[in-house]
């Protein structure tokens, strides 16, 4: 069993050292664990809520994607994509908007904080608040629920949003669960996600000792500006005025905490001791820079190479979107049917014209050099299953009737990691295409089941 981890990064800024230590490095390490199926994405629709400067958003998307790839994220292993490349997300957002309670959104921290600020200033409570800010948690719920994520690594400030995603997911399951299964979905429409808060991951302090954050203007750059910029920022870390030779308190400056984020126990201990023994702050800063640069220099080289070839990043993101949509697409298709927005031909209202339109799944028989066969074709015309070749046309007809009658129930069985088959009396009568990924195979099983279910409801 794998656990699906999913997290989004809002594309409004340039990654700094605090992002690297607190989010990027641990997320990439986690993605390498066996049993982890990681989905990481650029939350660029969310960026529009905070930022109306198109150049900044475009730049930030590029920098963030380059950073994650340079830091070792393997796009073949992780599904890395842009939110705005997945049209199923805004579509699901609307469906969820019609399920979530408005009162719940009134209580969202980010919205409430904005209202409180307005009230304090004596302004209209909703002054300058966009509907986007208000709807932010619904978009985030769609991000998570469309992929059935199990765990969502986030900071504490985001925990309320995960609870809202659970809430709306549960409500949807309650209202539409039956319709979802009738439309060919299996189990519940949505897995309810949990927030994953890494207690052991330190929040890195910034130059002035407060949490490193763009909003405090106390950050150390990660790659932008090169080693020179990182070094200059380190030289600005606030320290006390103790002279060289005087004992220093390692815990009274950010310097030691930052060092510790880049060193093991033993080296951190030695660094602490040197400070207590009177190492000059200037020397300590040199050592800190050297330490950080040992880790970052090879990554920076990759970052610069990637930034010089945005087309390579673009390709990686498009491939990620393709993998993500192979899951989101079929799920949304069943979701649409479940809420009553499926194709007319699949509804119980049967008319001649709906049949004639042919816009529904069907089984097509044909003959080729090897014998008599049939294929199951989805509503969009794609081939879902291809039968083996039968010498006798009556056997082929029997097999296709068995598929129509039983296929939707439990006879669609994985053959291996990339294919599945319709099994009947222990034989694979029809097999799927060869998918490159387990995820895609499973999504195709879901779609095939939905197609077979719709077949049943239109044919009798
Ligand atoms: N709102 C998150 C943040 O600002 C980013 C985000 C958007 C996200 N969609 C998500 C995080 C889905 C986790 C899951 O940090």
Chain centroid offset of residue 206 CA: 28
Question: Which of 214, 241, 49 lies closest to 138, judged by CA?
Answer: 49
Backbone angles phi, psi at 398, to 5 degrees: -60, -45
**Strand boundaries in 209-346, DSSP class E:** none
3-class state of residue 187 by DSSP: coil
Which of 14-18, 424-428, 436-440 has the lowest average pLDDT?
436-440
Which of 279-288, 319-328, 423-432 has the lowest average pLDDT?
423-432
Ligand 1 near 10 CB (within 6 A): yes
Q: How much is the pLDDT for 346?
A: 55
Which one is predicted more confidently, 411 or 132? 132
Q: Domains, the chain, ranges and CATH? A: 3-202+309-337 (3.40.50.620), 225-296 (1.10.240.10), 343-459 (2.30.29.80)
Instruction: Kindly give the distance from the C-alpha atom of residue 148 to the centroid of ligand 1, in angstroms, as a whole number.
Output: 15
Q: Which DSSP state fits 158?
A: G
Rounded Cα–Cα distance for residues 142 and 85 (Å): 14
195-205 pLDDT, tens per residue? Answer: 998 766 668 99
Mean pLDDT of 1-16: 94
176-200 pLDDT, tens per residue? Answer: 999 999 988 989 999 999 999 876 6
354 pLDDT tier (thresholds 50, 70, 90): very low
22-51 pLDDT, tens per residue? Answer: 999 999 999 999 999 999 999 999 999 999
Rounded Cα–Cα distance for residues 127 and 133 (Å): 12
Q: How much is the pLDDT for 199?
A: 67
Rounded Cα–Cα distance for residues 138 and 5 (Å): 19
What ligand 1 atom has the least distance to the C-alpha of 43? 7
Which of 53-67, 75-89, 137-151, 434-448 has the lowest average pLDDT?
434-448
Rounded Cα–Cα distance for residues 409 and 429 (Å): 15
Report, in this order, helix, strand and coil percent for the chain, each rounded to 5: 55, 15, 30
436 pLDDT tier (thresholds 50, 70, 90): confident
Ligand 1 near 44 CB (within 6 A): no
**Strand boundaries in 15-128, DSSP class E:** 36-43, 79-82
Q: Which DSSP state fits 83?
A: G
What ligand 1 atom has the least distance to the C-alpha of 153? 13
Please say whether the beta carbons of 331 and 92 come within 8 A. no
pLDDT at 235 over 90: yes
- Tokens 């870390």 belong to 237
Please say whether the beta carbons of 180 and 189 come within 8 A. yes
Mean pLDDT of 215-237: 96
3-class state of residue 386 by DSSP: strand
Q: What is the dihedral angle through the alpha carbons of 436, 441, 444, 446, rounded to the nearest 10 degrees?
A: -160
Which one is predicted more confidently, 364 or 381? 364
Which of 62-76, 193-207, 211-225, 399-413 has the lowest average pLDDT?
193-207
Question: Which of 225, 224, 234 lies closest to 259, judged by CA?
Answer: 234
Chain centroid offset of residue 428 CA: 35
The residues with which 413 forms a beta bridge, in sequence order, are 421
Protein residue with least CA distance to atom 11, ligand 1: 8
**For all residues of the chain together, what is the average pLDDT?**
92
Instruction: Kindly give the distance from the C-alpha atom of residue 318 to the centroid of ligand 1, in angstroms, as a whole number.
Output: 20
352 pLDDT tier (thresholds 50, 70, 90): very low
Q: State the pTM of this model.
A: 0.77
Q: How much is the pLDDT for 456?
A: 75
Mutating to test ligand 1, I would choose from 4, 6, 7, 86 the residue with most ligand atoms within 8 A of its C-beta, which is 7
Mean pLDDT of 16-24: 94
93-128 pLDDT, tens per residue? Answer: 999 999 999 999 999 999 999 999 999 999 999 999
Rounded Cα–Cα distance for residues 224 and 71 (Å): 14
pLDDT at 357 over 60: no
Mean pLDDT of 323-348: 88
What ligand 1 atom has the least distance to the C-alpha of 9? 5
Q: Which H/E stretch holds residue 3? A: strand 3-10
What ligand 1 atom has the least distance to the C-alpha of 46? 7
| DSSP per-residue letters across 24-41 | IHHHHHHHTSTTEEEEEE
Mutating to test ligand 1, I would choose from 5, 6, 8, 12 the residue with most ligand atoms within 8 A of its C-beta, which is 8
57-81 pLDDT, tens per residue? Answer: 999 999 999 999 999 999 999 999 9
Q: How much is the pLDDT for 356?
A: 41
Instruction: Kindly give the distance from the C-alpha atom of residue 176 to the centroid of ligand 1, in angstroms, as a whole number.
Output: 26
Ligand 1 near 328 CB (within 6 A): no
Protein residue with least CA distance to atom 13, ligand 1: 7
Q: How much is the pLDDT for 345?
A: 67
Q: What's the half-sphere exposure (Cβ side, CA atoms, 13 Å) at 6? A: 23
**Strand boundaries in 199-344, DSSP class E:** none
pLDDT at 92 over 50: yes
Mutating to test ligand 1, I would choose from 24, 41, 143 the residue with most ligand atoms within 8 A of its C-beta, which is 143
Please say whether the beta carbons of 406 and 424 come within 8 A. yes
Q: What is the dihedral angle through the alpha carbons of 312, 314, 320, 323, rounded to the nearest 10 degrees?
A: -100
Mean pLDDT of 405-409: 85
pLDDT at 460 over 80: no
């Amino acid at each position: 069993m794998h656990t699906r981890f999913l997290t989004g990064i809002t594309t409004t800024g340039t990654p700094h050292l605090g992002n690297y230590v607190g989010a990027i490095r641990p997320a990439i390490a986690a993605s390498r664990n066996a049993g982890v199926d990681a989905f990481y994405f650029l939350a660029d629709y969310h960026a529009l809520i905070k930022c109306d400067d198109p150049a900044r958003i475009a730049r930030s998307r590029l920098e963030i994607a380059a950073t994650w790839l340079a830091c070792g994220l393997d796009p073949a292993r992780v599904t890395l994509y842009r939110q705005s490349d997945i049209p199923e997300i805004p579509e699901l957002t609307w469906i969820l908007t019609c399920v979530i309670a408005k009162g719940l959104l009134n209580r969202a921290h980010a919205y409430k904080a904005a209202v409180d600020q307005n009230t304090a200033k004596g302004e209209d409570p909703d002054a300058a608040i966009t509907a986007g800010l208000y709807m932010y948690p619904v978009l985030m719920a769609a991000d998570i629920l469309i992929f059935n994520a199990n765990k969502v690594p986030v900071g504490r400030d985001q925990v309320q949003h995960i609870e809202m995603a659970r809430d709306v997911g549960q409500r949807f399951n309650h209202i539409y669960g039956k319709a979802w299964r009738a439309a060919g979905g299996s189990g519940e429409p949505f897995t309810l996600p949990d927030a994953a808060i890494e207690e052991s991951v330190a929040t890195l302090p910034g130059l002035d000792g407060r949490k490193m954050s763009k909003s405090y203007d106390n950050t150390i750059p990660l790659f932008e500006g090169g080693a020179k910029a990182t070094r200059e920022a380190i030289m600005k870390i606030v320290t006390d005025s103790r002279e060289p030779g005087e004992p220093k308190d390692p815990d009274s400056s950010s310097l030691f905490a930052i060092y510790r984020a880049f060193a093991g126990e033993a080296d951190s201990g030695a660094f602490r001791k040197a400070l207590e023994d009177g190492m000059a702050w200037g020397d300590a800063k040199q050592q800190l820079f050297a330490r950080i640069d040992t880790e970052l220099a090879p990554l920076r080289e990759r970052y610069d190479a990637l930034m010089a070839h945005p087309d390579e990043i673009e390709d990686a993101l498009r491939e990620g979107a393709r993998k993500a949509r192979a899951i989101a697409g079929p799920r949304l298709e069943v979701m649409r049917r479940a809420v009553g927005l499926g194709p007319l031909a699949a509804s119980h209202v049967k008319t001649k014209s709906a049949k004639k339109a042919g816009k529904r799944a069907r089984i097509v028989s044909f003959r080729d050099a090897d014998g008599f066969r049939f294929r199951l074709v989805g509503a969009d015309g794609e081939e879902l299953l291809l039968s083996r070749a039968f010498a006798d046309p009556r056997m082929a007809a029997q097999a296709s009737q068995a598929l129509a009658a039983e296929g939707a129930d439990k006879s669609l069985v994985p053959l291996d990691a990339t294919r599945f088959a319709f099994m009947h009396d222990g034989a694979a009568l029809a097999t799927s295409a060869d998918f490159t990924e387990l995820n895609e195979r499973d999504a195709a099983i879901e779609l095939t089941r939905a197609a077979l279910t719709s077949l049943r409801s239109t044919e009798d």
